[in-house]
Amino acid sequence: MRVSSKTDYALRTVLDLALHHGEGVIKAAEIAQRQQIPLKFLEQILLALRGGGIVESRRGARGGYLLAKEAGSICLTDVVKLTEDALLSVSSSRRGAARRSTAVDPFEGVWKRIDHSIVSVLSGLTFADVCKEIRERSRRAAHNYTI
């Protein structure tokens, strides 16, 4: 299973907006710099996220982007569905090999269970969950120093 750059960048974009929630609108250039995403690519991603109801945009000199809803109501699958044709499927990547062979794939059931597990994990995590985890890791790292 591979995660495309577009999906990785989209997830990091929404995470950035979630981490900076409450700071007002965030300019695309700020997100691009913090997340090391090429600005032109980020603009395309933000357009898709806006179309999917994940982010809102504000025009003008003080314009930018913010989450369209609370981070706790946006699952990782909400973003992945906007950027991937198949929802990070192991079995779909195996279909090409299966088409080249007339034999039945003995692991088809395994691949489908893996797919189900991936969807289950991504559906069970919101951006608020990921933000909380990041903040907890940062706190632990700040307290874990040696002399």
Beta-carbon count within 10 A of 76 CB: 21
- Buried b or exposed e, range 5-24, using 16+ CB within 10 angstroms: eebebbbbbbbbbbbbbeee
Contact 10, 83 (CB under 8 A): yes
Domain hosting 71: range is 5-143
Backbone angles phi, psi at 53, to 5 degrees: 75, 15
- Whole-structure pTM value: 0.84
State the pLDDT confidence band at 83, using cuts at 50, 70 and 90.
very high
Residues 6+ apart with CB under 8 A from 56: 50, 65, 66, 67, 68
Q: Please report the DSSP string for 68-94 in residue order.
A: SS-GGG-BHHHHHHHH-SSSS-HHHHH
- The predicted-structure confidence for 20-76, as pLDDT tens digits, reads as follows 999 999 999 999 999 999 999 999 999 999 999 999 999 988 899 999 999 999 999
Is pLDDT above 90 for 90? Answer: no
pLDDT interval class at 91 (50, 70, 90):
low
CATH of the domain at 69: 1.10.10.10
What is the reported pLDDT for 85?
Answer: 75
Residue type, 123: S
The three-class DSSP label of residue 26 is strand
Residue 19, helix vs strand vs coil: helix
Count of domains forming the chain: 1
